[in-house]
């Protein structure tokens, strides 16, 4: 009985180690531009945590490694304490129609950093986390950091993301 228990334990460990090695991690980079589709304020804000005074929807398009041409949507509560925005459950859609889910939250900071163009009016540098997806992105994981800003040249948000993406082999 003892040897059977040990054998089962060894088989379980081998299965776990094998499943861990069935993922490939690759660098992830994305550049995309968001168009503010809707900004709700006042009594129109529903479902946001206390202290968040607006609800924002942003539709975006651009490119990303492993996805090609992308589109997607951010849908989140914002205008929070000290410029915070609440966690967003959002997605990127690849050119072949598969979705990559992610979440991010953080803080919008007025002004710009020295390495930003002169026309930057506010920026945010926050973490993002991949949370699975559909098709080839099922079980995806990883994440990285944003380097995003708003501009005085247009009404759009500008996004530059870098990190790692782990996909099933």
* Three-class DSSP category at 28: strand
CA–CA gap between residue 20 and residue 109 (Å, rounded)? 39
Quick: pLDDT tens for 60-98: 999 999 899 999 999 999 999 999 999 988 999 999 999
pLDDT at 158 over 70: yes
DSSP label at 42? G
User: Residue 169: what pLDDT?
Assistant: 84
Q: Check: pTM over 0.85? Answer yes or no.
A: no
CA–CA gap between residue 104 and residue 53 (Å, rounded)? 18
Of how many residues is the chain composed?
Answer: 169
Q: At a CB cut-off of 8 Å and minimum separation 6, what does 7 contact?
A: none
DSSP label at 48? P
């Amino acid at each position: 009985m003892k040897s059977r228990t040990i054998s089962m334990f060894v088989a379980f460990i081998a299965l776990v180690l094998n499943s861990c090695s069935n993922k490939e991690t690759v660098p992830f980079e994305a550049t995309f531009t968001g168009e503010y589709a809707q900004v709700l304020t006042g009594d129109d804000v529903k479902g946001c945590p206390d202290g968040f005074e607006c609800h924002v929807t942003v539709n975006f398009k651009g490119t990303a490694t492993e996805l090609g041409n992308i589109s997607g949507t951010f849908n989140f509560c914002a205008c929070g304490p000290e410029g915070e925005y609440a966690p967003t459950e959002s997605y990127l859609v690849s050119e072949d129609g598969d979705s990559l889910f992610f979440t991010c939250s953080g803080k919008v900071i007025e002004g710009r950093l020295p390495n930003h163009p002169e026309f930057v009016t506010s920026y945010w540098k926050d973490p993002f986390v991949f949370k699975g997806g559909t098709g080839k992105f099922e079980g995806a994981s990883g994440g990285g950091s944003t380097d995003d800003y708003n501009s005085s040249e247009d009404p759009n948000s500008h996004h530059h993301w870098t990190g790692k993406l782990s996909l099933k082999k």
